[in-house]
Structure formats: structure tokens, C-alpha cells
Structure 1
């Protein structure tokens, strides 16, 4: 039955379609293929999530090789949830892409864009679904290498430099992760994460356990863009094409957070990582420092992409806060914030792409008074901006409230106060843009602009509406996150 092959098809479809985009040659054919494949992966992820909710975790052995000798794909509560929003974002961004790509990417490079996009999507989905730690590294590198290529396609001369900076720091992070995997394999003799968790000598084990965990943590923190290891992120988001910025901002750091959760809660256990090593205190310090430093930096940015990039660094801090609490409420809050932030930040970057198409600029001074000629695009910024701040009835409020209540439950009142203060910083940088759009005299570019095309507005408003829907109806966002957190705390993988 085809249902039994869905875990493999989730990865195989975009992986095979990527070279076909180049071989087929025509840009229109390549786009249609990429769109169909992206929509198919989203449909498969919906089916897998439904199967997990009905029958429990799915285990798929590649080539019928049994664990631990073969590679196993595992779809459980957490991986199905992440698969769902990664593939969903991939489909929405691809539907939005054509007009933006025509404006920002040269014709000769467009088929290569679709190929790299599908490779990146395949790598991200592969990281979610594999139960093999070395495969996590392999898929991480597939997504990273294709991301470098996508970023370099930006029309600015700084785009290749931004991609090169990302490549250098990404390679450092990947090297740390690979060393950590090698050390864990040396101690356990297996690469299957569930088998590894059972064999790893955590209690009074050799010092190699601590070294392996340190390498994995630092490597994943680079990939997550945790402050102060975030220096690759601002330039990568700023100089990439708008479509690439939207896709990577919504997915790449979230998948690294997912991998970190798997390592801490699925392999090394929170008792060892957050209790014995007191990593929880370090994570809280780095998270709060990153939230305030990145938010304050965002306030002073004139480039809107750069503003959103620093905002992303701050939002990663909230996810780390939830993960570091080591209780079900905090972990569920961190997981659902991955989902909510993916929707919100992708929506905001799609709005930026609309303005970039019609105004030819992403600088705040050129957006003055643009609400008069681009009212729908401007309103989308307002709604998504409110969600980013965490205003009630938006998705951003749900996850921040979950994390805040979890912090209070653990008795960390100073952390709760700092969380509330940090939201005020988001109000400032979001309001700066709103004030420019609605309460400033129109710039020359704004006067000559017209509303963004419907093919770009519809995907943008789909995500904008989702930030409101999941701010009220939380059954399939907070509900799934709570199930995933309960499963992780109840026995890892």
C-alpha cells in the first residue's frame, strides 16, 4: 500500500524532482514541477500527522534493514508537527514565488533556483523524519549547501559574500556536530537515536560523554543562530532574494531547534543536560541576552530585512527559554513557538517581498506613506507585526503565554519580568514601520507604486490569516505541541 511508503516519499519526491528541474530546461516547467512537488510533500505530511494521531508513531525501515543495522525513519508527535509546518511553508512560498523571482533573479539562474529550493526542502524534511543521527548530519548538509546557493542568487553584490560567510560559519557548526556524532558512535556502536539513548553511559560515564554533548550543543547553537553565535544570520537574510529570505527565515533555524530538542530530550536526557550539567541556567542567560541585544539592534535598523533578521535572533531566545525549563509546559511552549514564529516571520518577509517588487527598495525611508498606494500589503504588515509582538488573539501570544506561565511555575520571577519587558522592544521596532507606512508623507517611490499582484497577496494573507486562526483555535498547534512534549518527557524517542 502507498500509505506505508509515505515516509520515504516525503524525502524522495523533492530529492528526485530537484535535478529534473534543471534537466527539463524550461523555467515555466521547472516552476510547475517545483510547485506540484511542494504541494505533494505538504499533503503527505498531513496524511502522516493524521496517521500518527490515530495509530501512534510510524517506524519505516529503509530497504527492510532492521534497526540498528539499517536506517530508520520515525514519524512521531514531534516530527510530524515539524514536518507539517516546514512542508506547508515550502508550498506557500513556492506559490508566492514567480513574480518575485522574475524581479530579483536573472533568467539564466531561475531553473537552478527551483532545483536548490527543492534540495533545501528535502534536506529539512529529512532532518525531521530520520531516526539516524548521522543522517541528521547528512540532511543538514543537503539543506545548508543548497541554502548557500539560494542566498548567493540575490541581486546585491553582497549576496555572494553573505553566502560565503554563512558557508564558513555553517561549516564550523557542521564540523562540531560531526565530531560529536563520531564520539557518541564510539561510545555506543550505533547511529540509531533510540538505540543510542539506551546504550549511552550517561550516569558516571566517561568524560567523552560530556565532550560529545559539548560539540553537538555548540554546533547546533551555530545552526540555530543563538546569540552570540548568530553572526551569519543578518547578512544571509538581508541579501538573499525575498523568496529565499522568507523560506529560510521560517525553516532553517527551526529545524536546528528541532535537532537540539532531539539531542537534549531524546538522546542525552534533560536530567543529564539540563540538570547535571546545569545547561538550563546557561541557556536562560544566552536566551535573555539574545532577546534584548537583538531586539535593541533591530530598533535602529533602516533596512527592513535586517530588522526582521535581528528579530529572528531574539525569537530564537524565546524557544530556548521554553526548552531550558525541562517541564512539559515550557517544552510545549518552545515547540509551538517554532510553529508560530515560522508562520509570522514568513508572512512578514512575504510582505517585504511585495514592497520590494513595487517600491524597488527594502529601506524604511522609501516606504513612507506606502499605505496610500499599497493598503493591502501594509495591512498585512500590521497584522503579522501584532502577532510578532504577541498581542492577544494572535498566534504569537499563545506561545509566549505558554512559555511565560511555565517560567512562573518554576519560580523564576525575574525571568518572567524580563520576558514581559522584551515584548515592549518588539512593539518599538514593529511600530516604527507602521508609523512610516501610515503616518508619514509619501515618498516618491510610494506615490508611483501600485498594489502588489494578487498572486503574491493571496499566499501572504493565507499566512497572515493563519496567525489569527492559530491565535484562537489552538487544537492543532498548542495541542500537538503538548502531545509532543509529553511524549519526549515520557521516554525520549
Structure 2
């Protein structure tokens, strides 16, 4: 009986626990509650992923009202993969958060901080499982408001302008999305995604549908930080508390890309002739620009958090490029890189958080001699950086290999795309090497405190992420299987 309710657990449990976290009498109890809830959601996500591993789709009618008249929770391979990313990132970040949160945030504010964290977890999970467009919007707004609070608690005054920029851009993106949803509701009288897909195929007038597709795509592209609508993201990552950067870097933009792919392939792809071709024609150049320009800016950054932020702009370009190939292979590459990049970037920000706890800053100069002062932490950063570049036997290599295979199916265009992938990967070598050079080949300043390795509560999970990157580099069967089912679902209505 309890297992039958699992589809709503990722939303209900953290949502009900958030007020309890705010009422906790001290920061330790608030942290323990948040960690326990996140772990329960992660275990639930694993159970759901196993349940849909063979391509099964779970539909849960909230309140017993069957879709499209009631609220539907819908879980397939794609949504299960997103639940794993969101809950896994939250659990990793919370497990390692105590040292950095205690350093960044006053003790009396921490219960409220963890309450906002649980709201963000509930909202991102809700976006992944929601079966209708309006509830996606509701959870999108909850996640945004909670994320603003999390980022604004950064240790420096720059966190406030970074939050304000994120707020403005996020509000514009949500408004565009809501206008698009309003237009399709006007045409169909339904908000259920599966029902929308069917009814839009018989829509008498396609111009409002085309306008809705434009509004939804631009709004979600802004929320997902797709180039050139990415300007809010690097500062948000740089100014947020280090633990928040671990959580958001691994999950926030991936969830918004998930919604974008759902709409553009499942809802609009079946309704508008040549929609997918127009989608690819518009977004493929932006994906290529993101890969090159994001990497180029990362090569020049002096703040390592901002460097990783611009690196994420480039990596989102890889994901988008796979989707714009309009093939099952391309979408499989896109989805598997969403999973792999979440592991890689979450691990890299965790390594940075551990370094900042001991070093006290995220500027490149502060990392001088870090390889000798914190050898295990820095070695973890190097291994994860190799995965980001795409070195063989790592998860990052699998992502790029699958993407290259998908590009080869495109003929001459594919060759040009592969050249862009290789150039961007070589640029990633440069900015990762900049950190390695400073950490291993420059002597630390004389006035620094004695060398101290990162706390074990951060170091052990960091090497756990290294191990996962190697494991999924050697045996990528699980994410590839889920990504393959997700790609088949998305391509079902492609035109």
C-alpha cells in the first residue's frame, strides 16, 4: 500500500518537512532533518527508476481524479532520471554541507535556510513528475523563490545583486512560459501534457500554437541558461553558498531543459509540421556558440566558481546539440549527458567547496600550492576535471562518444559538429589545466596557515563522486538504458 504512494513522495515528503525544518530549535537538528528527507527522496527515486527501467510508465491520479480532469503524476524513464539527478544532488550537497554552511551562514538563520532547501527539493521533484503544464509552472515558481533565498544567503554582499539578476531573469522566463501555456489552453481547453499533445494535432488554427511554442521555448531557455540567455547563472553560482552551488549546478538547469524537451518534442512536435526542424535550425547555432564562447570565457576567469559556471554554459551546449540532431541517438546523447554532467559538475563544486573551507576564497590565486596543502581534495578535482574534458574511462567520455556517434549519422554536417565538439573539449583542457598549474606548480604564500586536508565529511563523498564517474565510464549501462527509453518517448511525436 505504501509503495503505491511512492510517485508523490518526492514532492509530499520535502514539502511537509520544510515547515518542520524552520521550527527546529538549532542548526544541527535542521540539517539532520533536511539530510534525512533528501535521503528518503533519493531512495524513492531509485525505486521509481527501477520500476520504469524497462520502459514502463507510471500514472498516479492525485485525489482519485483521472487525467485529464484531475492532477496527474506521471513517471517514465526521463522523469525518473531527473528525479535521480535532483535528489542525488541534494543528498550529496547536504551530506557535505555542514562545514561550509557553518562558515557561510549565521547559526540562527540556518533552520530557515534548510526549510528553503527542502522547498527547492520538493519543487524540482514536482517539475520532474508533474503531468500537466500548470503544475509545472507552480513548482517552477516555488523552486525559483526557494533558490533566490538559498543564493541570497551567500557569504559576500555580491550575493544580493546576483540574486536580483536571477530574480529578474527568472521572472521574465516564467512569464513567457505562462503566456505560452495560456495560449495552448485557449486552443485546447486542457493543461494535461499528454492530452495537449493529442488535441493540438486537431487544432483548427495553428498560428496561436506557433506563438505558444515560441513563448514556451524562449521562457524555458531563459530558465535553463541557454546561450545567450545565460547571464544570470555564473554569478549565481559564484556568489551562492558553496553547498548551494553543488545542488543547483547539478540539478537546476537540467530540470528546465527537461521541461523544454518535454514541450518541444511531445506537445508541439506532434502538432506543428516542421516544428522540430525549426527547433533544430534555431537552437543548433546557439548550442555551438555556447560550447565555444562558454569555454572561451571560462579560460579567462579568475574566480573558479565563475569558471565552472561558464563551463556549465558550454556543457549545456552539448546537451542542446544532441537534442537538435533530431534523432534517437542524438537525444540519447543529450539525456545521458544531463545525468553525467550533473555528477561531474556536482563533484567539481564539492571539491571547490572543500578547498574554500580550508583556503577561504575561490579566486585562482588563493589556490596556489593547494595540490601540496590538500593533496586528496585536489586529486579529486583533477579526476573530475578529466571527466569534464572527456578522458576515456570516465563518464564524461561516454557522453561525448555517444554524441559523436550521433553526429556521424548527419553526414557532412556531423563532421563539422564533431570538429566543434573537439575544439570545445580542448578548451576545457585549458581551463582545467589553469587550476592544476596553480595548485601543483606554484608555491603557496608564506603567510598561509598550516596545511589541512578537507574534512572527511566532504572528502569521502568527493571520492565517492570520483568513483561513480569511473564506474559509469566503465559500465554506462544504467544511464544509457534510461536515456534510450527517454529518447524514444521524445521522438514518438517528432516530425
SS at 1:449 equivalent? coil
Choose which of 427, 447, 450 in structure 2 pairs with 1:425.
Answer: 427
Partner residue in 2 for 1:138: 138
Partner residue in 2 for 1:104: 104
Partner residue in 1 for 2:244: 244
Partner residue in 1 for 2:335: 335
Partners of 2:386 and 2:30 in 1: CA distance: 36
Is the contact between residue 373 and residue 446 of structure 1 (CA under 8 Å) also seen in structure 2? no
Partner residue in 2 for 1:221: 221
Cα offset for 1:275? Answer: 4.7
Partners of 1:434 and 1:201 in 2: CA distance: 54
Choose which of 473, 488, 491 in structure 2 pairs with 1:471.
Answer: 473
> Do residues 58 (structure 1) and 74 (structure 2) align?
no
Partner residue in 1 for 2:187: 187
Choose which of 439, 442, 446 in structure 1 pairs with 2:441.
Answer: 439
Cα offset for 1:279? Answer: 2.0
Q: CA offsets, 1:356-396, max 9 Å, x none?
A: 11010111111111111100011011000001101111111
Partner residue in 1 for 2:417: 415
Is the contact between residue 393 and residue 470 of structure 2 (CA under 8 Å) also seen in structure 1? yes
Query: Which stretch shows the higher mean deviation, 135-144 or 18-27?
Result: 18-27
Partner residue in 1 for 2:120: 120
TM-score, reference length from structure 2 = 0.97
Query: Which stretch shows the higher mean deviation, 74-83 or 266-275?
Result: 266-275
> Cα 1:273–1:170, aligned 2, differ >3 Å: closer, same or farther?
farther
SS at 2:478 equivalent? coil
Unaligned runs of 5+ in 1: none
> Cα 1:207–1:277, aligned 2, differ >3 Å: closer, same or farther?
farther
Partners of 1:89 and 1:393 in 2: CA distance: 22
Partners of 1:78 and 1:203 in 2: CA distance: 27
Q: CA offsets, 1:237-272, max 9 Å, x none?
A: 010000011111111000001001100121111784
SS at 1:182 equivalent? helix
Cα offset for 1:66? Answer: 1.4
Query: Which stretch shows the higher mean deviation, 247-256 or 400-409?
Result: 400-409
Unaligned runs of 5+ in 2: none
> Cα 1:98–1:369, aligned 2, differ >3 Å: closer, same or farther?
same
Query: Cα RMSD between the aligned structures?
Result: 1.6
TM-score, reference length from structure 1 = 0.97
Q: CA offsets, 1:329-372, max 9 Å, x none?
A: 00000001000110000101011111111010111111111111
Is the contact between residue 249 and residue 346 of structure 1 (CA under 8 Å) also seen in structure 2? yes
Partner residue in 2 for 1:71: 71
Cα offset for 1:276? Answer: 6.1
Cα offset for 1:124? Answer: 0.4
Partners of 2:276 and 2:111 in 1: CA distance: 50
Query: Which stretch shows the higher mean deviation, 294-303 or 18-27?
Result: 18-27
Cα offset for 1:467? Answer: 1.1
Partner residue in 2 for 1:11: 11
> Do residues 256 (structure 1) and 249 (structure 2) align?
no
Is the contact between residue 370 and residue 446 of structure 1 (CA under 8 Å) also seen in structure 2? no
> Cα 1:274–1:394, aligned 2, differ >3 Å: closer, same or farther?
farther
Q: CA offsets, 1:106-131, max 9 Å, x none?
A: 11211111101110011000000010
Partner residue in 1 for 2:364: 364
Partners of 2:138 and 2:2 in 1: CA distance: 26
Cα offset for 1:147? Answer: 0.3
Partner residue in 2 for 1:278: 278
Partners of 2:303 and 2:334 in 1: CA distance: 28
Cα offset for 1:300? Answer: 0.7
Partners of 1:82 and 1:400 in 2: CA distance: 20
Is the contact between residue 188 and residue 203 of structure 2 (CA under 8 Å) also seen in structure 1? no
Partner residue in 2 for 1:267: 267
Cα offset for 1:447? Answer: 5.8
Cα offset for 1:146? Answer: 0.3
